[in-house]
């Protein structure tokens, strides 16, 4: 069960990064494009570190495919940051883990991974969890409205699902050290893509000048946690089928909910998170549906 330990480390670390992302976006950088570029900036040392740690070689077409996959993924992260800027962290991350709905048919078509009744049932539970988590109360009203993050996150989740299947295909041919190096190169290209646009570039420089050293420090910690989680996750992916491993990070919404509820209770001004009994019950129900659905898909 070594793969399971590696796979479980990832969502715990990523939950920590989600909380840091939400805090910085809510209190320091409102512009998701500026935050995307700050993320790329703190990511820049990674390929140099990997180059020093292990011998790296170029393997065509796998290195190129890895860079392309990471480029698309990191470019789409702006959708995640947009969602995080307008919605609670626990809801945003719950949307991400509806992803096995998309991974399932893609893995069947491109990787030949099997489908079964339990997988279809798991997909139905994931759809139910998405519906549940996408509705929220409006202040002063009894009615529910669809979360403003839904469109951003469904698009991001679809892109992420395609990336997951491609990553598994690549890892059948190269080891995860080589994968992570070329992945980080492609990620940097995708992260810095928005510097091409003059308005985005001007906004980023303006936002960056106002940042304190503490914000840059915590964003750097956030990036480190993210990449340790990525490394741990892809060790697991290299050991087991992607449709199985991809279910373990579905526990991330639980850890995010745990962290945000604790922080909202202990430090009320730090994060804005609804912690009333009815909302917490709805969020916990959605997380349970996600976990059960993901495990059914794992079969």
Q: Which residues contact 251 (CB under 8 A, 6 or more apart)?
A: 8, 11, 291
Q: What is the pLDDT of residue 244?
A: 72
Q: What's the whole-number average pLDDT of the chain?
A: 83
- The 10 Å Cβ neighbour count of residue 282 is 19
CA distance linking residue 1 with residue 247, whole number of Å: 15
Are 280 and 261 within 8 A, CB to CB? yes
Q: What is the pLDDT of residue 122?
A: 78
Q: SS3 sequence, 200-264? A: HHHHHHHHHHHCCHHHHHHHHHHHHHHHHHHHHHHHHHHHCCHHHHCCHHHHHHHHHHHHHHHHH
Q: Is the dihedral of CA 203, 205, 206, 207 positive or negative?
A: positive
In 135-212, which residue ranges form alpha helices assigned H by DSSP? 150-171, 176-191, 198-210
Q: List the one residue out of 28, 23, 21, 25 whose CA is nearest residue 211.
A: 28
Q: What is the pLDDT of residue 18?
A: 92
Q: Which residues contact 267 (CB under 8 A, 6 or more apart)?
A: none
Residue 146 three-state SS: strand
Q: List the one residue out of 222, 117, 118, 233 whose CA is nearest residue 167.
A: 233
Q: Could you list the pLDDT tens digit for every one of the 299 residues in the chain?
A: 688 889 889 999 999 999 999 999 988 998 999 999 999 999 999 998 888 888 888 888 999 999 999 999 999 999 999 999 888 888 888 777 777 677 777 777 877 776 677 877 877 787 777 667 766 655 555 555 677 887 898 899 889 888 888 888 898 888 878 888 999 999 999 989 899 999 999 999 999 999 899 999 999 999 999 989 988 988 888 788 776 777 778 778 888 888 888 887 777 667 766 667 777 787 788 888 877 877 787 66
CA distance linking residue 152 with residue 83, whole number of Å: 6
Q: What is the pLDDT of residue 282?
A: 78
CA distance linking residue 16 with residue 40, whole number of Å: 18
CA distance linking residue 44 with residue 192, whole number of Å: 10
Q: Which residues contact 106 (CB under 8 A, 6 or more apart)?
A: 161, 162, 164, 165
Q: What is the pLDDT of residue 1?
A: 61
The pTM of the full predicted model, rounded to 2 decimals, is: 0.81
CA distance linking residue 92 with residue 79, whole number of Å: 11
Q: What is the pLDDT of residue 299?
A: 60
State the virtual CA torsion across 4, 5, 10, 16 in degrees, nearest 10: 130
User: Using N-to-C axis directions, what is the helix angle for 32-43 and 198-210, rounded to 10°?
Assistant: 70
């Amino acid at each position: 069960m070594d793969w399971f330990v590696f796979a479980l480390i990832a969502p715990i670390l990523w939950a920590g990064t989600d909380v840091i992302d939400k805090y910085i976006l809510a209190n320091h950088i409102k512009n998701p494009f500026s935050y995307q570029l700050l993320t790329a900036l703190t990511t820049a040392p990674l390929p140099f570190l990997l180059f020093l740690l292990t011998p790296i070689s170029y393997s065509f077409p796998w290195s190129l495919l890895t860079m392309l996959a990471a480029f698309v993924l990191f470019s789409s992260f702006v959708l995640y940051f947009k969602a995080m800027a307008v919605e609670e962290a626990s809801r945003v991350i719950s949307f991400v883990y509806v992803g096995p709905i998309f991974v399932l048919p893609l893995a069947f078509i491109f990787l030949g991974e099997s489908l079964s009744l339990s997988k279809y049932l798991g997909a139905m539970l994931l759809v139910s969890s998405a519906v549940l988590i996408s509705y929220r109360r409006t202040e002063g009203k009894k009615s529910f409205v669809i979360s403003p993050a839904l469109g951003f996150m469904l698009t991001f989740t679809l892109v992420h699902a395609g990336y997951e299947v491609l990553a598994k295909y690549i890892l059948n041919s190269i080891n995860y050290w080589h994968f992570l190096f070329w992945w980080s190169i492609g990620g940097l290209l995708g992260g810095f893509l928005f510097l091409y646009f003059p308005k985005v570039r001007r906004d980023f420089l303006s936002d960056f000048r106002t940042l304190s050293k503490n914000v840059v420090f915590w964003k750097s910690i956030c990036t480190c946690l993210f990449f340790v989680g990525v490394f741990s996750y892809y060790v697991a992916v290299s050991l087991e089928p992607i449709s199985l491993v991809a279910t373990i990070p579905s526990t991330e919404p639980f850890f995010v909910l745990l962290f945000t509820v604790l922080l909202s209770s202990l430090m009320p001004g730090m994060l804005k998170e609804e912690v009333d009994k009815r909302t917490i019950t709805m969020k916990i129900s959605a997380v349970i549906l996600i976990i059960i659905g993901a495990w059914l898909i794992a079969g």
